[in-house]
Structure 1
Amino acid sequence: MIAADRFARLRQCASDPNAYAALQPGLRYFDHPAGFVAYRRTLAGNVVLGDPVAEPAQASVLLSAFLQAHPGSVFGYLSETGAAALAQASGRRMRFVRIGTERCLDLTQPLSFSASTQGALKKARKARLQVTERNLSELGAADLAQLRAINAEFIRLSPSKKEIGFISRLLQLAPEPDVRFFVIEAAATPIGFCVLDPWYEGAQLKGYQLHQFRLLPTKIWGVFLSVVALLAEQLRAEGYRCLSLGGCIGPISPGEQALPVSGVYDYCRDLTFRLIDRYHPLTNLSKNKFEFAGTDLNRYLAAPHRLPLIPLARLARANNIL
């Protein structure tokens, strides 16, 4: 299956806000008449990225075929639907662990922002902060060089000194189908940018997922909050229904789960998150995302291994964390 065919299949079948990540460079694919599975080979094993791309009724068929060809694979960032399809397709015991959520804003309802977000918007207006959409194909060499410099400086100043990839795909800075690019400016000076990936449902655009957010050091407080608020207002005015803010980590709320669970996996997940947070400050970013009212989509890691060390290590390595 060529790239154009995979994009067409994804646009036709996918309904997950993170589905577009399956089209990123550097992945392997298992192609099947029902659809395809995107995965990465790492640490002598496979890590599947998200849900299979297929019509819902064919997801289990596709996963069964994949597992026959690649037994022992680890599945990362599955949705509830994808996890249920995997549980049905797997012929051996598969262990599932909730690894976070994805905060999604409902743009069909009037937007109501927290006091912190309203305060950030006030400071943004005072600093003449703007979020302007730009067409990457129309930018000159100097503009692209400036954006690359912003990205490089952002990564240099991060605790890990590197960019996480895979679940949140690496930055392209090149035109991509249905992807939107916004420059963040303060007093007409670029200080950052963000990327919105398309979120499909029924072969139509229902909204977007905030995929990349890059920002230089600034004295303006709450830039993330104000940018998200401005984007949400613009997308709502354009008639879109949803805006996903991407993955969040934090306390996993207890509750009934129909999937096979493992206390060992839960413990190791919490320990792994604490270690990762030292170098990739995901907790603080998640707190900012939780400032916005919305619904949370649960995300799962699944593996047939009795102990979670290999699955968690493979997932971390696939994301360029290790």
Structure 2
Amino acid sequence: MRGESHPSRDVVVSDLSQAADGVVAVELVAADGARLPGWEPGAHAELVLPSGLIRPYSLCGDPADRETYRVGVLRVPDGRGGSAEVHSLREGRRIAIRGPRNKFPLVLANHYLFIAGGIGVTPFLPMIRAVAAAGHEWRLVYGGRSRAAMAFADELLDLGGDRVHLVPEDTDGLPDLTTALAGTPPGAAVYACGPEPLLTALEKTMSTGFSDRYLHTERFGSWHPSQQRPDKEEFKAELRRSGRVLPVPADRSLLEVIREAVPEAASSCEEGVCGSCELRVLGGTPDHRDTVLSAAERDRSDVIYPCVSRARSSVLTVDL
């Protein structure tokens, strides 16, 4: 299902509930009463909010339930407004959704370790249910600011019992990644989603002693080590179909520049996470700064996510 998408459709907020301190669980049903598109664990849907903002959120309900989608949304006070708007929704409110899309698919393995930080737990609810139903071995290490701030914790404990290890930072500190990894066999699939410090620490720990496990990550934002490179020079974007060549200054994104010529250019999160703005590259060398591509895919020259990525070549030609 990776990369698959569906057209926008209208949905209605059917239920809102408090999943934890600062976290709301939102259930959505099709406005016309039809069944919703199928999805697989790891997928997200893009909510088209009343203001026009578009934000991707992991689906954390039951993939077998084609009547209802569920997402969990943490309110971010200093964010860009999307989470605050979700928290202001009320039952009966009509919005639109796009998707589902799956950039974080569940691979087949004999043993799974899930490591969640805060609201990063959401994609793991359907994953864990699928793994448990298949009879595979699994464990979850779930860190959060406090027990009260850990969304869906009781639901996970009911599902997994002592397979679920909750680590509230205010009482227990940070998760012990080395111990968690040491409890997995070689070949285990390690799934992680959460804030950047957690993922960076996990990547470092795995590289120094657990390289025979397989890491799969999903990040909250677009941060990647490549973003530390300063942007000192502009490059040119050639839009092949329209025949236009546009300068991209160092202080502007490729997506911003493209929108001036093609206002309908697709985008969603604008943080290099969701993959909605994907463009086909026809010439030149991309400088990938997204978190959509895996480490093994970062030398690809056929695709770019222009909301955060740039060009290593003086000219980048895209299919627009």
Query: Normalization by structure 1: what TM-score?
Result: 0.27
Using CA pairs under 8 Å that are at least 6 residues apart, name the structure with larger relative contact order, 1 or 2.
1
When normalised by structure 2's length, the TM-score is: 0.27
Identify, as 1 or 2, the structure richer in helix. Answer: 1
